[in-house]
Amino acid sequence: MNVSETSLPGVLVITPRVFGDERGFFLESYNEKRMSDMGIRERFVQDNHSCSSQNVLRGLHYQIKHPQGKLVRVVAGEILDVAVDLRTKSPALGRWHGVTLSADNKKMLWVPPGLAHGFLVLSDSAQVLYKTTDFYYPEFERTLAWNDPDLNIAWQLKGEPIVSAKDALGVSFKDAEKFEL
C-alpha cells in the first residue's frame, strides 16, 4: 500500500497494490499491520455500506462524543470525499480536504476522529464502504452545513445537490461543536 499525506494532519490517501490480469483483480483493502505501519492504529468496530445516486450529498457528519475515525473506499462509481478539521488544537482547524475516490482508482481515505466527513456522488450511482473506529450513537451525531460559505468547499456540483432533511439543517462551522483534540 502507498500512503499520501493531505493538507489536514492525520488525513491520509491510501492506494492499495492491485494485482490484475485477464480474470480481474485482487487487492488488500485492509491489513492491520500495514495500516499500523502507516500510523493508523485505531481498532475498527463497525463496517458500513451506502448506495447513493448521482448528485446525492451526504454529510458533513461527526459524533461529538464517541468520535469516529473512518476508512472510506468506493466499490462502484465515483465520489468526491471531503473531510473538515474540527480539532481545536489542530493547525488546520476549519480547513477541508477533498479527494476523488472511485471503483477505478481504488483509493481509500483515512479520516481520523475529530473531523467531519461527507461525500458527493459524481457518477450515476456509487457504493461506498467504510470502517469506523467507534459505534454509531445518533444522540451524539452532529451535522456541519455542507454549504457553509466560511468553509467554501469546492463540491464539483452540477445543479442543486440531493440532501437529507437532517443534512439540510447542518450548522455553520462557527456555530458547530468542536473537539478538544
Catalytic residues, which ones? 61, 130
Q: Which residues pair with 56 in a beta bridge?
A: 162
Measured in whole angstroms, the distance separating CA 89 from the mean position of its chain's CA atoms is 21
DSSP letters spanning 121-134: E-SSEEEEEEEESS
Yes or no: say if 143 and 63 are a contact pair by the CB < 8 Å rule: no
**Separation between Cα atoms, residue 26 and residue 168, nearest integer Å:** 39
Q: Residue 173: which of 146, 155, 154 has the closest Cα? A: 146
Q: Environment class of residue 158 by beta-carbon count within 10 Å: exposed (0-12), middle (13-18) or buried (19+)? A: exposed
Yes or no: say if 76 and 126 are a contact pair by the CB < 8 Å rule: yes
Helix (H) or strand (E) holding 37: helix 32-38
